[in-house]
Structure 1
Amino acid sequence: MACIVYYSLTGQTRKFVNKVAGFDKYEISSDKEAIEMTEPFIMVIPSYESHVYGDVIETAEEFLECGDNAQLCKGLFGGGNRNFAQLFCVTVKELSVLFDIPVLHGFEFQGSPLDVATLTKELEEIDQYEKIEH
């Protein structure tokens, strides 16, 4: 079953992810050792100001480099603030290029009901695809 892997420094991303029902969630941070995933997942990563950006991208990169995590990551959801213009969701844009993982969606702050529905739909599609493959 698909799950959600996410990073949340301020709690906004955690609040967004917790609105999605029926899927396991795993929070990554620089304080935790990266674990090797065994199921497909969508990664939800926010973008922050430059002084914390390095920790976010480094933590996400280390996680994706662990075992087969990059191959199991089926897409990226980016959180951010549209006021940052071209820097909106910059973290997932960089991860997409580095690991060849598609950016599926961008959302602001804690996400809207549409953002929650979009993540839920993407997770359900992964589960449907996995059932067909097995």
Structure 2
Amino acid sequence: MKLVYFSLTGQTRRFINKLDLATYEIDTTNPFYEMDEDYLLIVPTYDQEVTEVVNDFIEFKDNANYLKGVAGGGNLNFGDLFIFTAKDISRDYDVPLVFSFEFSGTDEDVKNFKKVVNDFESKRID
């Protein structure tokens, strides 16, 4: 399963780079990339004006139909606003919120997220 992510400050990209899995980074200058396979989306937490490019990506062609889940990164100091971008995407596109991590994730986060990805891949095969 492909992982699609958006990274603004590099925290999300650092998490993704630890995974050693197939990925695609949403290009802020041209988010209109057509997916042709199922994917999980990983996003940081920012105001909607900043993450609008992610919605542009999801809504391009048939990308929303391939979106199977969303994970969010953020700062636990945000309290109730922790990973709100991922929560909003989960609600707006009716996909499960599958994982959350703080900053660029810990080694344990990497291990646990890989398990989530493997679980999604095995469900897709069944």
TM, length-normalised to structure 2: 0.92
Secondary structure of residue in 2 paired with 1:35: coil
Matched residue, 2:63: 69
Match of 1:9 in 2: 8
Equivalent in the alignment of 2:49: 54
Matched, 1:36 2:34: yes
Q: For structure 2, list consecutive stretches of 5 or more residues without a partner in the other structure.
A: none
C-alpha distance in structure 2 between counterparts of 1:55 and 1:85, whole Å = 20
Instruction: Calculate percent identity across the aligned residue pairs.
Output: 38
- Name 2:43's counterpart in structure 1: 45
Once residues 16 and 34 of structure 1 are traced to their aligned partners in structure 2, the CA distance between those partners, rounded to angstroms, is 23
Q: What's the offset of the Cα at 1:131?
A: 2.6
Q: Show structure 1 runs of 5+ residues with no match.
A: none
Q: 1:105 Cα shift?
A: 1.3
SS in structure 2 opposite 1:19? helix
2:5 is aligned with what amino acid?
A: Y
Q: Distance in 2 between matches of 1:103 and 1:5?
A: 14
Q: CA deviation at 1:72?
A: 1.2
CA RMSD of aligned residues (A): 1.4
Q: Note the 1:42-121 alignment, pairs <5 A.
A: 42-48=40-46, 50=47, 53-56=48-51, 58-121=52-115
- The whole-number CA distance in structure 2 between the counterparts of 1:96 and 1:110 is 21
Structure 1 length normalisation: TM-score?
0.86
- State the alpha-carbon separation in 2 of the partners of residues 129 and 106 from structure 1: 20
For residue 127 of structure 1, report the CA deviation from its aligned partner.
Answer: 2.1
- Structure 1 residue aligned with 2:24: 26
Matched residues, number: 126
